Amino acid sequence: MDTTVPATDVPRVLPRDEWVKTLPQTIVASCVLLLDAEDRMLLLRYAEGEPGAGLWGLPGGMLDQGEDPLGAACRELHEETGIVLDREPRFVGYDHRADVKGTGPVIDFYFHGGRLAPGQNVRRSGEHDQDGLFALADLESTPLATPLPALTALHTAALTGTVVCLREGLPR
C-alpha cells in the first residue's frame, strides 16, 4: 500500500511559455575584424550624436530579428563600410558583458573577415565620421569603444587561428 502524501509546500512549476518570460533578455551583436597587409585593424569612429560618439570601434552592430551572428556581421560590415567579403568570416571570439549602459546583458560575437585589399575604399555610413587602420601600439591613447585588451586578444586570435573568450572586455 502506498503511504506517500503529496507535498503541499512545493512551488508550482510554471508552464514553459510563462517560464521563458522570466529569463534574462540579452542583446546580441556581431563585429568584424579586418586586417591590412601590415596587420593593422580597420576601425571606425562614431559620429557626433551617436551612442559612443568619438570612440573608435570595429565595424558591427546588433542582430536584427531572426538574424544569426554571422549574417549580422556581414550585413553590418557592408552597411558601415561598403565592404562585401569574398568568403565567410571566421569566428574568433565572444564577449559577455553583464550590463551595457543600463540595457542589461550583451553578448558580442567577433569574426575575422580576412585581409583588406591594397587601396580598399571604405564607404562609411552616417553613424561614423572617420575610419582608419591602427596597429595595436597606436591604440594606447586612442578612445576605444572596445577595450584594448579585447582588441589585442581578438587580433592575436585572428593571426593565430584561435578563439578567445572575453568577459567584460577582458580575456578569460
What's the grid cell of residue 82?
561598403
Q: Is residue 89 part of a domain?
A: yes
Q: Given this model, what pLDDT does residue 90 score?
A: 98
**What's residue 124's pLDDT?**
96
pLDDT of residue 19: 86
Q: Is the pTM of the predicted complex or chain greater than 0.75? A: yes
Question: Where in the sequence is the domain holding 141, given as residue range(s)?
Answer: 24-171
Domain assignment present for 73? yes
How much is the pLDDT for 38?
97
User: What pLDDT is stored for residue 10 in this prediction?
Assistant: 63
Is 4 inside any structural domain?
Answer: no
Here the CATH number for the domain that contains residue 84 is: 3.90.79.10
| Residue 48 located in a structural domain | yes
How many Cα atoms are found within 13 Å in the side-chain-facing hemisphere of 9?
A: 0
Q: Residue 15 domain-assigned?
A: no
For residue 118, being part of any structural domain is answered with yes
Please count the structural domains in the chain.
1
Counting as low any pLDDT under 50, the low residues of the chain are: none
Distance CA 149, CA 124 (A): 26
